[in-house]
Structure 1
Amino acid sequence: MSLAYPRGVATPEQMAGKTGLEIMQALVRGEIPAAEISGPMRFWLAEAEEGRCVFIGEPDESLRNPQGTTHGGWALALIDSAAGCAAHTTLPAEVGYTTVETHGNFTRPILPDGGQVRAEGRVINRGRTLITAEATLTDSQGRVLAHGGSTLMVLAGR
């Protein structure tokens, strides 16, 4: 997937009967539209497997804070997206989730011209009603830029 893939809201027909993993893999293939946020935030889902998702982000000048580096909210949105989508891969069909809490730690500045950022989300624990997941953002040299975690609530019948 890339920034060129269609964005929008998936129809109920596109989601019906699919597990969370099947939905995430369909997003990677471009069969289901990516979330609208992926355009202005300049990131997309690149990989999905059980309990793990990877997003790729391309920060640019439009995401700068007043000091000229990429705004921390962008990194936190990537942490939340990667952790949440990793959690979604563990859910059966017709079951959704929502974020209860997300936190992040920023370890290096993310520069608007610093190249692609990889955000890897992993499920830590899958409970009946809560899932905990973490995500790590790295640059092209594998250096950690930020890391954090999310607590997600399972929503049956969604």
Structure 2
Amino acid sequence: MADTEKFDAQAAAQRLMSVPGLQAMQLLIDGQHDAPSIAKTLGFTLAEVEDGKAVFVGEPSDRILNPLGIVHGGWALTLIDSCTGCAAHTTLPAGVGYTTVETKVNFVRAITPATGQVRAEGRVVARGRTIITAEGTLTDSRGKLLAHGTSTLMVLRPSSSEARG
């Protein structure tokens, strides 16, 4: 996309929704679709996916510190929410989306820019017709646990009028 063109987030979302969730997530990894703005803003990327699983990697930096010089907990929570949500999305057919109902995270260790690259891995625990539950872990490069959590996600199916076109 040229620098002068405005990014149309809604059109981009519609393109991703036109394919099954696992394929949509793979398009992001393969660079065939722009990364979402949240990932660009907070410095993390989708690294791997399979059915019911999504992995993000991120670099904590000085841009996301709280007043005490520690990475803000919202960054870790966002990574857990992202990996669990994308894990859920890999299980959905084309045209079906999701939204987070709740994400709960337990912080185990402080994260600082010196922590280095982190890995957020989300896995679907249960998939129902309307609710998906998933769990996520955030670890450092040595595999040491930094945070863990769970997400409840609502499946969003098109309304019958949308399905008819």
Q: What letter matches 2:129 in structure 1? A: R
Matched positions, count: 151
Q: What residue in structure 2 maps to residue 76 of structure 1?
A: 77
Give the drift of 1:113: 2.2
CA offsets 1:80-114 (integer angstroms, 9 cap, x no match) = 00000000000011000000000100000011122
Q: TM-score, normalised by structure 1?
A: 0.91
Q: What letter matches 1:67 in structure 2? A: L
The unaligned stretches of length 5 or more in structure 2 are: 1-6, 160-165
**Residue 27 (structure 2) pairs with residue 26 (structure 1):** yes
Q: What residue in structure 2 maps to residue 59 of structure 1?
A: 60
CA RMSD, aligned part only? 1.5
Q: What residue in structure 2 maps to residue 110 of structure 1?
A: 111
1:8 and 1:30 map into 2 onto residues whose CA distance is: 17
Give matches, 1:118-157, under 5 Å. Answer: 118-157=119-158
Pick closer, same or farther for the CA change 1:144–1:8 going to 2, 3 Å: farther
Pick closer, same or farther for the CA change 1:8–1:76 going to 2, 3 Å: farther
Give the drift of 1:16: 5.3
2:158 and 2:20 map into 1 onto residues whose CA distance is: 12
Bigger fraction of residues in helix:
2
Q: What residue in structure 1 maps to residue 43 of structure 2?
A: 42
1:91 and 1:19 map into 2 onto residues whose CA distance is: 6
Of structures 1 and 2, the larger Rg is shown by: 2
Give the drift of 1:17: 3.6
SS of the equivalent of 2:49 reads strand
2:69 and 2:8 map into 1 onto residues whose CA distance is: 30
SS of the equivalent of 2:133 reads strand
Give the drift of 1:8: 6.9
Q: TM-score, normalised by structure 2?
A: 0.87
